[in-house]
Amino acid sequence: MSTLKNIPVVSHEKPSGGTGNLLANVFDELMAFCRSRSLFMLHYCTGCGAIELPPAMTSRFDMERLGIQPMVTPRQADILLVTGYVSTKTLKRIILTYEQMNSPKYVIGICSCTVNGGMYWQSYATAKKLNDYLPVDMYIAGCMPRPEAVIHGLRELMENIKKGESDNWRDYYRRYDHYLGNQQRLFGENWQTPTDIIGEARHYDLMGPETLGPHTALLEQHQTPLKPFEMTLGLADLPVRKDEPR
Amino acid sequence: MKLSPTSNLSASLEFLLQEISGLRSQWKSPRRLRVDLQAETLPALIELLKGRAGFVHLSAISCVDWPAQNEFELVYHLWSYEVKVLVMAHIRIPRDPGIYLSIYDLYRPAAFFERDIHEMFGLFFEGSPDMGKFILTEWDGPPPMRKEFDGEAWVMNQFDWQDYQPGWLKDIEAKGGGITTRPEDVRRDKPKPWDEQS
């Protein structure tokens, strides 16, 4: 930072277009920095790659020194790690999990199988390209990648977040029609998730030119309205003593 | 006659199996007996083995598709904890209409095996409690383990493939990474370091 130019006040143009307020970008930089340094990771252990994560997380390679730690629920997680082959059945669950996560969220595909099916390329039950169905931020190829490679990939992601380059989660809203089309091709026309992506895109001003299209029109035809989940204790079904007053 | 592991095992078991007509048996190893029989006589064999020889454990039912003969082969693997013998009962049934009897009334675990075979081969078991979808809940194509199912063609039709992205490797190489062992380095005709030592 010897010259004024190197001071990271405005390091790059913001995609949304700056208002000319220098301070706003400073806060953005600060937020991006903090965000990149505290990533909570939800690892959806679909395949064999999951076996490389325990050493990466625990004392041997210690991911937590980078601020990355495992998280138990999708609501609190930032990264979704998909660690191996994705069967059609699992993909449904991954999409449900991804849509539950709060933005900004990032998807990492670990292992060759998430890139193009890997050794399951001939399998009728395995989805081939994860980025057809979800916006993948980073692929870590290998069969399986070593913990060093996993950590390297995560550091790359941290760099991208710091620079503000990883914003594929916006892409999911902007091109929802594309992603939904691929999902419908695999799961059938009646495919519907309990999350209202279009409503969220409207609410958070994330609508793009491809948010709505033929596939979302199809969704609206089949969509059953979302209802709040009623919780009952079901006491009537419990066995009661005969002399108990009702 | 009661079987015991100390008696002359093969002779006693074969004596028992004589009750089933048209049965051929062959010892594959001292504890593994292969039995080939008519499909109609299989329930009788199973009742005989379960009732008289203590074959209480149905390990698995497996299915083989023989498209040239237009037949399915079903193999019932039965294990006895008393005489410690595995009996593999092979039957053949015609592929069309592909219906056979369930043995759920004799062995409860058969429900799962039969449901699995129904899903993978389309073979229907009469009397099985549930012939619904089991593992392939998202599947509505033909039974995928039949020989005529062309998995590769189906995959080519159903999925897109990742385009080759040369930029990805260039990105990695720009950061000091890259491929350390190229395919031509591990060719079979190339002498290996360990060959020179020996």
How confident is the model over A129-142, as pLDDT tens digits? 999 999 999 999 88
Q: pTM value?
A: 0.79
At B96 the pLDDT is 87
In this predicted model, what pLDDT tens digit does every residue of B147-160 receive, in sequence order?
A: 999 988 999 888 88
Say whether B138 and A127 touch across the interface (CB within 8 A).
no
Question: Mean pLDDT across the stretch B68-73?
Answer: 94
Contacts made by residues A48-51, CB under 8 angstroms, sequence distance 24+: A48/A83, A48/A84, A48/A111, A48/A144, A49/A83, A49/A84, A49/A110, A49/A111, A49/A113, A49/A144, A49/A145, A50/A83, A50/A84, A51/A144
CA–CA separation, A151 and B72 (whole Å): 50
Say whether B137 and A115 touch across the interface (CB within 8 A).
no
Model ipTM? Answer: 0.74
CA–CA separation, A36 and A159 (whole Å): 7
CA–CA separation, A61 and A73 (whole Å): 23
Nearest-by-CA chain B residue for A127: B159
pLDDT bin (cut points 50, 70, 90) of residue B197 is: low
CA distance B28 to chain A (A): 34
Both structure tokens of B118: 């129904």
Which of the residues in chain A have pLDDT under 50? Answer: 1-2, 4, 7-13
Strands in chain B per DSSP E: 24-29, 32-36, 57-66, 71-79, 86-94, 99-101, 124-126
B63 close to B93: Cβ distance less than 8 angstroms? no
At B30 the pLDDT is 85
DSSP for A126-170, please give it: EES-GGGTS--SEEE-SSSPPHHHHHHHHHHHHHHHHHT---HHH
Say whether A127 and B159 touch across the interface (CB within 8 A).
yes
The domains of chain B, with CATH numbers, are 9-183 (3.30.460.80)
Cβ contacts (< 8 Å) between B162 and chain A: which residues?
115-116, 128-129
Measured CA distances, B105 to A28, B99, B108 (Å): 68, 17, 7
At B2 the pLDDT is 52
CA–CA separation, B185 and A84 (whole Å): 28
CA–CA separation, A60 and A55 (whole Å): 6
Cβ contacts (< 8 Å) between A92 and chain B: which residues?
138
In this predicted model, what pLDDT tens digit does every residue of A47-62 receive, in sequence order?
A: 888 888 889 988 999 9
Both structure tokens of A113: 């199988």
Cβ contacts (< 8 Å) between B139 and chain A: which residues?
88, 124-125
Measured CA distances, B36 to A104, B20, B116 (Å): 63, 11, 23
CATH of domain A39-166: 3.40.50.12280
Cβ contacts (< 8 Å) between A112 and chain B: which residues?
none
Question: Looking at the complex, does the CB of residue B184 fall below 8 Å from at least one CB of chain A?
Answer: no
Straight-line distance from the first to the last Cα atom of chain B, in angstroms, rounded to the nearest whole number: 63
- Contacts of residue A130, defined as CB under 8 A and 6 or more positions apart, other chains included, come to A82, A86, A107, A109, A114, A115, A136
In this predicted model, what pLDDT tens digit does every residue of B84-132 receive, in sequence order?
A: 899 999 999 999 889 999 999 999 999 999 999 999 999 999 999 989 8
> Closest Cα partner for B144 from B183, B165, B116?
B116
Both structure tokens of A115: 């890139």
> Closest Cα partner for A152 from A167, A140, A143?
A140
Residue B98: Cβ within 10 Å count:
17
Residue B80: Cβ within 10 Å count:
20
Measured CA distances, A106 to A43, A71, A81, A103, A203 (Å): 12, 14, 8, 8, 20
Say whether A88 and B161 touch across the interface (CB within 8 A).
no
Nearest-by-CA chain A residue for B169: A141
Average pLDDT of chain B?
87
